[in-house]
Amino acid sequence: MTPNHFLNNVFKGADLSSEELETIIPKFKKITFSKNDFLLREGQTANHYWFIEQGFTRSYVIDTEGNDITTNFFSVGDIVIDWPSFFLRNPTREHIQALSDCVCWQLDFDTFQQLFHSIKSFREQGRTTLVGSYFALKSHSISMIADQAKDRYMKLLKEKPHIIQNVSLKQIATYLGVTDTSLSRIRKEIAGK
């Protein structure tokens, strides 16, 4: 096991021993996706999750008018997972698609279960990741209701500038709950300051 393996950074601070890391890391499989490939499609049950080493992906749903609405963006170091589908074994309502060529580290459900039940620190790291994802989702949901569009954009710009630089404005607009035109106006307003 090479000490500079990408997954060592992912699990840094997870309180895993080097022996546990030597058990866990080889269970992940390196997978590449080309731009526009689907990691998961609506109606499928999530049998894997991925850590992104390189590239960008997004999750989205199709609304009642047939528009695709971005629900999340994922980039280097992020876990790409549909939590309810993966854990409850239900078909997903979202699509997860590569926005660029991606290098990911994939773990399947059965192997996850085995590691989860046999390595306490892995289980705790998983819980911490789940809670962090929940808090981020809750924060975004509240922001969509309580914050001005400009404030939502500024927050995204501050927290994830790499998303703003590498993802289409249309996808960012749907994530922020605004039209392309409104987002362009907000960007011009900010640039003019």
Q: Can you read off the two tokens belonging to residue 33?
A: 């996706």
Tell me the pairing of strands 29-33 and 102-108. Answer: antiparallel
Give the span between the Cα atoms of 7 and 30, in whole angstroms. 11
Positions in the chain whose pLDDT score sits under 50: 1
DSSP alpha helix (H) spans, the chain: 6-10, 18-24, 83-88, 109-118, 120-146, 149-159, 161-166, 169-176, 180-191
CATH class, range 6-137: mainly beta
**pLDDT at position 192:** 80
**pLDDT at position 191:** 82
pTM of the predicted protein model = 0.89
Give the span between the Cα atoms of 161 and 155, in whole angstroms. 9
CA 14 to chain centre: 19
Domain residue spans in the chain? 6-137, 147-193
Give the span between the Cα atoms of 155 and 149, in whole angstroms. 10
CA-based torsion, 152, 154, 159, 163: positive or negative:
positive
